[in-house]
Amino acid sequence: MDYKDLANLIFPEAKDISYYEEKYPERNLKEGAIVTRIAPSPTGFIHIGGLYQGLIAKKIAKQTEGVFFIRIEDTDQKRLIENGITEIIESMDKFGMNPDEGMINETESKGLYGPYRQSLRKEIYQAYAKYLIEQGKAYPCFCTPEELDSIRQKQEQAKIRPGYYGVWAKCRNLTVEEMTEKIKAGENYIIRFKSLGREDRKIKHHDLIKGNVDFPENDQDIVIIKGDGLPTYHFAHVVDDHLMRTTHVIRGDEWLSSVPLHLQLFHEMGFKPPKYAHIAPIMKNDNGNKRKLSKRKDPEAAVSYYVEMGIPKEAVTEYLLNIANSNFENWRRANKDASIDDFKLEISKMSVSGALFDMVKLLDVGKTVISKFTAEEVYERALEWAKEYDKDLAKILEKDKEYAIKVFGIERGNKKPRKDIAKWSDVRENISYMYDEMFDSQKQNYDYQVINDKEEINKILNLYINEYYDENDDKQTWFDKIKELSGRLGYAKEVKEFKENPDKYKAHVGDVSTVLRVALTARTNTPDMYEIMQILGKDRIKARFEKAIGI
Ligand code: GLU
């Protein structure tokens, strides 16, 4: 009996690894091309950090004409949820992060390096586990959960490092005969890696983000194949990223401390290890305390939040790049209209300790992004969002597309476009005064500010609509008429005049304009009033004024 017999007894069906090595050859890419991936678990919750990693990975691959793929890590069968894969793929898609290879829905994939779903790769892991057993580098462990518990307790009592290693690794010293006997007797087992590492020796690792780090070698005989025949994360990572020919593993820094183990596994399997970049988590300022964005406490930790709020994908990706590389902001300032594809992301410039996420800044980016859209784009995107999250608004928008586009066109397409929409959920509030059904169904609060005598207000409104307003006036004439009306009623025609001689006037033209604006929209702040009036038309302006007078 030797290791080969043992390996055959455990995995009689497993193929020789040369089969897979040939099936998944080195990729034929240009020099320097980076192959990278994200490897999410379909647990139903997609964290913004996952999207962040995806963005970084995809961008780095694209910049080097490499490959970005998605691998689904579903080996923890207990945590799976229905449609979990589709949700991941759709979320990534919504933010423009569709992969070159990988799963495209629950069951199908594209690309030659699949399957891209770990639960479908069982035979591959077993072939590689068999390969390790054949060389005496892995072995079956028959310890029961109770035995493992008792080992842990003893270690705790003796205040020594927990784990299955050295003298504690009982099964590593069984002879092949003993192992064979136990297997034949039907005992349950898992497969462990036999570590030759020593805790008192150090390994050096150069991480692309964290820089140079030293770690003790790994001496734990970690589990590589679980009782259900599926691999652990560590083993799957090594097998998959080898066979999928990943050049760069970009992942969360909770895995940094596993690097010694992973490098050791790559080495013992005879594979070239990838480069590693460990991304620090996105942080949040919580009353002066910097902490990780938490799935439990922060709604904005979920990617679904951004979708529901209707924060445009362009804003989310742009903002994430902003926190990935702090020089992005300067680049954006110098390249206002450039596509983010033109920004060169540098992994080495990413924050070691974790960048702060700032919702206010994100919404600011949203405003700028939307301000650059055409009215048609705003219409299409707002409608797309509303169909899902505000059906009533969708109906209103669909009823008269041409009118809606006019509304969205107010102060748009010029040098200083309006910047008042940060997300699609702002649209309703933003355009409601341009729709009688919305305007009339809400209780309006008319705050005329400086001029607040009811009779005076009524006089201004009546005179304006009956004697001054003409739909055919150009903007200059329109404004001159407001000045004329102001002068006629004892208000300064210019703000400057008023400031020089405040006692001479009741107030100034700006205050008169405010009266018109408030009567028209019930707001003190709106985009260009000339354009608003043009779109509403004389009859509706009149109706608005009558409504205001009647209150
Ligand atoms: N499934 C692992 C996770 O979600 C993947 C880590 C990796 O990218 O290797 O954390």
pLDDT computed for residue 281 by the predictor = 96
pLDDT-above-70 percentage for the chain: 100
Instruction: Please tell me if the CB atom of residue 236 comes closer than 6 angstroms to any atom of ligand 1.
Output: no
What distance in angstroms lies between residue 40's CA and the mean position of ligand 1's atoms? 6
Instruction: Please tell me if the CB atom of residue 43 comes closer than 6 angstroms to any atom of ligand 1.
Output: no
Q: Which tokens belong to 180?
A: 């064979």
What is the rounded radius of gyration, in angstroms, for the C-alpha atoms of the chain?
Answer: 33
Q: Which tokens belong to 52?
A: 């962040």
Residue pLDDT, tens place only, 456-496? 999 999 999 999 999 999 999 999 999 999 999 999 999 99
80 pLDDT more than 80: no
Question: Counting atoms of ligand 1 from 1, which one is nearest the CA of 255?
Answer: 6
Q: What's the pLDDT band for 64 if we cut at 50, 70, 90?
A: very high
Residue pLDDT, tens place only, 175-205? 999 999 999 999 999 999 999 999 999 999 9
For the segment 91-99, the average pLDDT, to the nearest whole number, is 94
Instruction: Please tell me if the CB atom of residue 318 comes closer than 6 angstroms to any atom of ligand 1.
Output: no
- With beta carbons less than 8 A apart as the criterion, state whether 256 and 354 touch: no
Residue pLDDT, tens place only, 103-115? 998 889 999 999 9
pLDDT computed for residue 136 by the predictor = 97
Instruction: Please tell me if the CB atom of residue 508 comes closer than 6 angstroms to any atom of ligand 1.
Output: no
DSSP string, 318-334: HHHHHHH-TTHHHHHHH
Q: What's the pLDDT band for 171 if we cut at 50, 70, 90?
A: very high
Closest CA to 464 of 402, 397, 520: 520
User: What's the CA dihedral at 88, 93, 96, 101 to 10 degrees?
Assistant: 80
Closest CA to 446 of 513, 508, 517, 512: 517
Q: What's the pLDDT band for 295 if we cut at 50, 70, 90?
A: very high
Q: What's the pLDDT band for 81 if we cut at 50, 70, 90?
A: confident
What distance in angstroms lies between residue 220's CA and the mean position of ligand 1's atoms? 20
DSSP state, 359?
Answer: H
- With beta carbons less than 8 A apart as the criterion, state whether 357 and 284 touch: yes
DSSP state, 160?
Answer: -
59 pLDDT more than 80: yes
Q: What's the pLDDT band for 210 if we cut at 50, 70, 90?
A: very high
What is d(CA 400, CA 545) in angstroms, rounded to the nearest whole number?
24
Q: What's the pLDDT band for 78 if we cut at 50, 70, 90?
A: confident
Q: What is the enclosing helix (H) or strand (E) of 207?
A: strand 202-207
Q: What's the pLDDT band for 1 if we cut at 50, 70, 90?
A: confident
Residue pLDDT, tens place only, 314-345? 999 999 999 999 999 999 999 999 999 999 99
Residue pLDDT, tens place only, 504-513? 999 999 999 9
For the segment 21-41, the average pLDDT, to the nearest whole number, is 97
- With beta carbons less than 8 A apart as the criterion, state whether 292 and 265 touch: no
| End-to-end CA, the chain | 99
Q: What's the pLDDT band for 370 if we cut at 50, 70, 90?
A: very high
Question: Counting atoms of ligand 1 from 1, which one is nearest the CA of 251?
Answer: 8
Instruction: Please tell me if the CB atom of residue 73 comes closer than 6 angstroms to any atom of ligand 1.
Output: yes
Residue pLDDT, tens place only, 250-276? 999 999 999 999 999 999 999 999 999
Instruction: Please tell me if the CB atom of residue 237 comes closer than 6 angstroms to any atom of ligand 1.
Output: yes
pLDDT computed for residue 21 by the predictor = 98
| Structure-token match 């040369």, residue found | 18
For the segment 280-304, the average pLDDT, to the nearest whole number, is 94
For the segment 300-307, the average pLDDT, to the nearest whole number, is 96
88 pLDDT more than 90: yes
- With beta carbons less than 8 A apart as the criterion, state whether 228 and 25 touch: no
pLDDT computed for residue 193 by the predictor = 98
**Mean pLDDT value across the chain:** 96
Please tell me the pTM assigned to this model: 0.91
Lowest mean pLDDT among 72-81, 122-131, 197-206, 440-449: 72-81
Instruction: Please tell me if the CB atom of residue 117 comes closer than 6 angstroms to any atom of ligand 1.
Output: no
For the segment 59-72, the average pLDDT, to the nearest whole number, is 97
17 pLDDT more than 90: yes
What distance in angstroms lies between residue 256's CA and the mean position of ligand 1's atoms? 11
Q: What's the pLDDT band for 86 if we cut at 50, 70, 90?
A: very high
- Cβ neighbours of residue 82 closer than 8 Å, sequence gap 6 or more: none
Rounded to whole angstroms, the maximal C-alpha distance in the chain is 112
What distance in angstroms lies between residue 55's CA and the mean position of ligand 1's atoms? 15
Q: Which tokens belong to 312?
A: 């445009």
pLDDT computed for residue 43 by the predictor = 87
